[in-house]
Amino acid sequence: MAALQAVIDRVDNSVSAFASVQLAATNSDVTGISNTTLGNILGLTFDGANEADYQAAIAAEASIADVAA
């Protein structure tokens, strides 16, 4: 049961992190987007050294579309 709950928690964290990135793009406000946020998105590969570049790219977008799970 604990293993199942851990999977559910990881998925919930991923959905929440992706929603945060979408909101940041819509509002052009990336102050809450960090390597931790990006790291919570399942399947996302990124280089933490480029955090500022990712923030700039997210802020430059008007929106980020949902992706199928």
Q: What is the pTM of this model?
A: 0.84
Retrieve residue 23's tokens: 């909101």
Mean pLDDT of the chain: 92
pLDDT at 64: 75
Q: Strand, helix or coil at 44?
A: coil
Give the Cβ contact number of residue 24 at 10 Å.
20
Q: What is the mean pLDDT of the segment spanning 24-36?
A: 95
Alpha-carbon distances of 61 from 42, 46, 65, rounded to whole Å:
21, 18, 10
Give the Cβ contact number of residue 47 at 10 Å.
10
- In this prediction, residue 50 has a pLDDT band, given cuts at 50, 70 and 90, of very high
Retrieve residue 47's tokens: 């280089």
